[in-house]
Amino acid sequence: MPLDLGQLSGWVGGACWAMARVSGLMLVAPVLGASLIPARIRLGLTVVLTMVLAPLAPLDIKPLSAQGIEVLAQQVLIGAALGFLLKLVFEAVAFGGQFVSQAMSLGFAEVVNPGVGGTVPVLSQFYTMLVTLLFLALNGHLQLIDLLADSFRTLPVGTQGIGADGVWGVLGFATHLFSGAVRVALPALTALLIVNLGFGAISRSAPSMNLFAVGFPITICLGMVALWLALRGLPGAFDTLQTAAWDAMRQLVGGRP
């Protein structure tokens, strides 16, 4: 059977569009695109997803034409936007851990986080590890791949990308970075606020007491207790943020929220 060059061009184009959208997602998305995962594994996962999703992206546009380059840029932007929305959820949790660290006087205790290429407070890294395990336990990675595959149906490959409304939707969801951080850190911060108010009352009643020497170990000890009690509400706060992110991603690609 002779090889049809037009059919071959369609196959190459479908693989290019699928790889562009998958690559955009893998560059930004947490867990799947984390720099902690070896580059060979990430590359292999990208190739496997491209092979599976390529039949969903047929398009009669030459990949090396000007229109093809425009479509390629649109697919990378769509994948990156999907990954960025989910990335905001993890950053909100890490931001909440930073709030708790500062309230416990542990802001100076930092560890190297290869995922961001710098140092972060210990509690931020601890919170991030917990929600990463929750994300994997709840099959969040499989849900992300399913949403990516469904996006080829709800937002087909073409010159029309996410548009201005989609960009504003991503920027609007960015407000969850601060509200989600407060939601994560609020139980521990409330307990530590009561402790600090108690220290303020003690300093007024006994001005000669050195609260810097006494208050520091007490704040850390009571902060650990408050942190242990506040961890019970972390799964609920993370689930709320994650649900909002899934709804925003489905709206972005034109699916039902």
Task: State the average pLDDT over residues 179-186.
Answer: 85
DSSP string covering 40-67:
HHHHHHHHHHHHHHGGG----S-TTSHH
Closest CA to 18 of 159, 162, 149, 166: 149
What's the pLDDT at 135? 92
Task: Compute the CA torsion angle 164, 73, 53, 174 (nearest 10 deg).
Answer: -40
Q: What is the pLDDT of residues 28-45, one digit of tens each?
A: 888 888 777 888 888 888
Task: State the average pLDDT over residues 38-65.
Answer: 79
Bridge partners, 169 (sequence order): none
What's the pLDDT at 217? 75
Give dist(CA 67, CA 178) in Å, integer.
39
Give dist(CA 255, CA 253) in Å, integer.
6
What's the pLDDT at 34? 79
Task: State the average pLDDT over residues 209-231.
Answer: 75
User: 72 with 86: CB under 8 angstroms?
Assistant: no
**Residue whose token pair is 């799964």:** 235
What's the pLDDT at 3? 47
Domain residue limits, the chain: 5-252
Among 53-67, 186-200, 228-242, name the most confident range.
Answer: 228-242
Closest CA to 71 of 18, 127, 33: 18
Closest CA to 38 of 129, 114, 128, 130: 114
Q: Is 71 helix (H, G, I), strand (E, B) or coil?
A: helix
| Average of per-residue pLDDT values in the chain | 79
What's the pLDDT at 15? 77
- Which runs of consecutive H residues, i.e. helices, occur in 61-210? 66-103, 122-137, 140-154, 163-173, 176-205
Residue scoring higher pLDDT (63 or 126)? 126
Q: What is the pLDDT of residues 108-165, one digit of tens each?
A: 666 666 666 667 777 888 888 899 999 999 888 899 989 988 888 888 877 677 777 7
Among the listed ranges 5-19, 62-76, 147-161, which one has the minimum average pLDDT value? 5-19
Q: Is 2 helix (H, G, I), strand (E, B) or coil?
A: coil
What's the pLDDT at 5? 47
Task: State the average pLDDT over residues 164-187.
Answer: 83
User: 87 with 47: CB under 8 angstroms?
Assistant: no
What's the pLDDT at 9? 55
**Rounded to 5 degrees, what angle do the CA atoms 131, 134, 137 make?**
155
Give dist(CA 146, CA 40) in Å, integer.
23
Q: What is the pLDDT of residues 77-93, one digit of tens each?
A: 888 999 999 999 998 99
Among the listed ranges 58-72, 77-91, 174-188, 237-251, which one has the minimum average pLDDT value? 58-72
